[in-house]
Amino acid sequence: MVEIKAEPFPFPARPEEMALIVIDMQRDFAEPGGFGASLGNDVGRITRIVPDVKRLIQGFRNAGLPVIHTMECHKPDLSDLPPAKRNRGDPSIRIGDVGPMGRILIAGEPGTAIMPELAPIAGEVVIEKPGKGAFYATELGDVLKRKGITQLVFAGVTTEVCVQTTMREANDRGYECLLAEDATESYFPEFKEAAIAMIRAQGAIVGWTASIDDILETISHA
Ligand code: TIU
């Protein structure tokens, strides 16, 4: 066992049982004309963390540890899109509608793709998920079991929506969860800060948080 410097106390790492989960680094959340922008958000906040997420992914690849990517997306016939999700709020265009990057959040459309800088490489698992959490209605649990993974490092967007939801799902399933603070972002800085605080409060009630450098320092020497 090795330790990663983390909050609220060191993370007891078992690198051989660890995977990186990169949540939803898709064009739809980061580029004008996509889903994030349709909800009225400043997508520039997301684009800014791309080099940091890339560094974390590269560190896991260099250490020979699995990188798993997720994508929030729906089937072209919308059969996995509950009306309650499609009809939520007052977006400028809805999930399934045609936007400048193709149909919003639909599998296979250009805007739904993972950003090219962070694209999965051969052999990396990509989980397509219809919900905010990556365990709901996906094969993620089976994939992790098959690989013998018990510890998850999290990156991606947005901190308080898909990242936090997936961390809570994972925590309830018995995984030890560590959030890379500088490899996640929200459209709302105050929500990112609050999500980090609530994850590690009460003695890591949902999980730990750490910097990319401290995570890579430990796994590169493991
Ligand atoms: N809107 C928002 O903050 N997030 C999402 O809709 N999905 C993810 O977080 N991936």
CB atoms within 10 A of CB 47: 14
Lining ligand 1 with CB less than 6 A are 24, 29, 39, 72, 132, 157-158, 161-162, 187
Q: Which atom of ligand 1 is nearest to the CA of 39?
A: 1
Sort strands 102-103 and 98-99 into parallel, antiparallel or unpaired.
Answer: antiparallel
Q: Known catalytic residues?
A: 24, 129, 162
Ligand 1 centre from 55 Cα, in Å? 22
Residue ranges with strand state E in 46-175: 67-72, 98-99, 102-103, 125-129, 151-157
Q: pLDDT tens digits for 203-222?
A: 999 999 999 999 999 999 88
Q: pLDDT tens digits for 5-43?
A: 999 999 999 999 999 999 999 999 999 999 999 999 999
Asked if residue 1 has pLDDT above 90, the reply is no
Nearest CA to ligand 1 atom 10: 162
What is the rounded average pLDDT of the residues 54-78? 98
The reported pLDDT for the residue numbered 156 is 99
Q: pLDDT tens digits for 124-148?
A: 999 999 999 999 999 999 999 999 9
For the chain, first and last CA: distance in Å? Answer: 9
Nearest CA to ligand 1 atom 1: 36
